[in-house]
Structure formats: C-alpha cells, structure tokens
Amino acid sequence: MVDITHKSNTLRQAIAQAVVKVSKQETIDAIVNKTVPKGDVFEMAKTAGLFAVKRTSDMIPDCHPLPIEFTAVRYEIKKLEVYIEMEVKTIYKTGVEVEAMHGVSVVALTMYDMLKPIDKGIEISTIKLLEKKGGKSWHKTEAHNLKAAVLVISDSVSANKSVDKSGKLIVEKLKQQLFDNTAYGIVPDEIEAIQNKVKQFCKEGIDLIITTGGTGLSPRDVTPEAVGELLNKEIPGIMETSRAYGQARTPYAMLSRGVAGFKGNTLILTLPGSTNGVRESLDSLLPQLLHVFKVKEGKKHD
C-alpha cells in the first residue's frame, strides 16, 4: 500500500454513481410497489452497499482500512433507468472515492440479483465518481505574488563548520508551493543577529519568513525569544498543529518551543533545526497555511 503516514487527518468526501437499466416498465413498477419476489429492492441493495463500503479494504488490495463516518444511498428513477448515488465521508489521511465506487457497484449488483428473476434484460452501466472533496489539494492556496524568506539560525553553519540542509529543504518545499526566488540568510544563535535579519526581511516586503534552528531547550536556543519579541499578533494554532503532527510520529516533538505570528504584514514561523523536524512541520502546515494571507486580506473562506 502507498505510505500515508506523512499525511494529516482531514474531512474527506466522495459521491459515486451507477445506473441500473431494466427492460420493461413492469420491473420499475415492481420496485416501486415492493412486489419483487426477493423483497424490497431499494432497502436490500442499500444495506448491501453499506456493507460494501466498510469492507472495501478487504476487497481492493491497495485500499487502506479507514473509519467510515457517514454513508448515504440515494435513488432516482428516470423512465427505465435507476440512478444510484453513494455518498461516503470520513476524517482520515486518504480519500474515500474507491469506497464510494465499490459501494455503489454493490448496490447496483444487488439490484441486478434481485430483479433478474423477473427481468432478463437488466444492464449495469456508468459506474463513475461524481465528486471528491478533502485533503491538501482541496485546501490548496497558491502563493501568487507572495514573497518568502528562509533564515537558518546556527552557530556552526554561520561559521562554515557545517552544511545547511534544513534551510535548503524549506526552500525546496516553498518552491513546490509556487514561491519563486525565495530569499535566504544565515545567522548565529544570537538574539540581536536574529532580530536584525528578521527586521531586514520585513523591510524588504517579505510576506512569509520561516526560520530553522534554535527552538530547542539548549541555552543557545534563543529563536523563540528573539522572534517572540517582534510579533505583534501571535497565531498559537500554527505551531500547535505542527507539534501535534510531530508528536504522533516522534515523542520529542513536544519539546519544540517554536512560535508563529505576524510582525506587521509579515508572517513568521520558527521551525526546528533538524531536517526531519522541518519536513514534518511543513507537511503538517502546507499548503493550507497559505490561506492565512487570504484571511488577512479579508477574503471569505472557501
């Protein structure tokens, strides 16, 4: 199966459709009047579909077992065709489109099985996905006309005693979000040096500053203090989200003291210095973090 351990739980929805076509009006009448010998076709097929949705991972090898939190089956009769819709919802790391399509397929097949004694000309057709919502792609906000900067905070990197990896990783991740020509800087673990560089970036009209390093418990880790003094509007939920995401993957994430908020019109995030910490933090925050710029401009939520 595909590795989804790096993903976050979000609301996922899907609606799938199938069409059952009968060969005569008498079959439709029997369905509506509940006179089919095998029983109530719509209710039996619905029940079978609900079972199918929950058992999708048992039938499709690459499907992940996931919690099904809502299902609904809807029918619409159009002449000699019965249109079936299956809606599925979950709050999980991966989508439910296959669950919806599997469920609606079994609804259609159950109808076929129940109707075949009275109609030999039944067809199942047009099994397809009608709608899919949820996941990062659904909440994606492109970074149009936004400027970013990455600030590496490290005594050893600034002294050319080690090579920066975390800052370069941030630059690459931002490039994936359509941030081009990201500014880049390196300073030692000193409050004055950090603050001076952050202020410089702010004066240059940078919209997003991401620092890496100096958020731990060492006496030299002063990034939260340096940046915290500059913020005029904190957003605690950003780093709470990052820590919660990391805590599910490593027990040490709770020790990060990162902060986030605005200095004027510039959003500043303080990430850990490790590459894994940076990668997990950005996985938990991007691209939905960029929605903050739409909110700041007074635009409505999607």
Listed range (55-59, 84-88, 144-148, 275-279) with the worst mean pLDDT: 144-148
Q: What is the pLDDT of residue 287?
A: 86
Q: What is the pLDDT of residue 281?
A: 94
Average pLDDT over residues 197-208: 97
| pLDDT level of residue 144 (50, 70, 90 thresholds) | low
| pLDDT level of residue 301 (50, 70, 90 thresholds) | very low
| 282-161-278 Cα angle (round to 5) | 5
Sign of the dihedral through C-alpha 87, 90, 93, 99 = negative
The domain 140-296 is classified under which CATH number: 3.30.70.360, 1.10.1270.20, 3.40.980.10, 3.30.70.260? 3.40.980.10
| pLDDT level of residue 141 (50, 70, 90 thresholds) | low
Instruction: Give, as one character, the DSSP assignment of residue 64.
Output: P
Q: Does the annotation mark 113 as catalytic?
A: yes
Instruction: Give, as one character, the DSSP assignment of residue 301.
Output: P
Q: What is the pLDDT of residue 38?
A: 97
Q: What is the pLDDT of residue 224?
A: 96
Strand pairing of 208-212 and 148-153?
parallel
| pLDDT level of residue 297 (50, 70, 90 thresholds) | low
Per the prediction, the chain carries an average pLDDT of 93
- Phi, psi (rounded to 5 degrees) for 8: -105, 150
Token couple for 228: 């915290």
* Helix ranges restricted to H, the chain: 25-33, 41-54, 56-59, 97-115, 155-158, 166-176, 191-203, 223-228, 236-247, 275-285, 291-296
Q: What is the pLDDT of residue 300?
A: 47
pTM of the model: 0.76
Average pLDDT over residues 203-224: 95
The model's pLDDT over 30-66, given as tens digits with 9 standing for 90+, comes to 999 999 999 999 999 999 999 999 999 999 999 999 9
Q: What is the pLDDT of residue 251?
A: 86
Residue 139 pLDDT more than 60?
A: no
Question: Cα separation of 46 and 226, whole Å?
Answer: 60
| pLDDT level of residue 142 (50, 70, 90 thresholds) | low
Listed range (5-9, 97-101, 107-111) with the worst mean pLDDT: 5-9
Q: What is the pLDDT of residue 302?
A: 44
Question: Cα separation of 150 and 174, whole Å?
Answer: 10
Domain ranges of the chain: 10-138, 140-296
Question: Which candidate in 40, 113, 119, 155 is catalytic?
Answer: 113
Q: What is the pLDDT of residue 143?
A: 57
CATH topology of domain 10-138: Alpha-Beta Plaits (3.30.70)
| Greatest alpha-carbon span in the chain | 85
Residue matched to tokens 């994430």: 253
99-113, 144-158, 278-292: which has the highest mean pLDDT? 99-113
Q: What is the pLDDT of residue 116?
A: 97
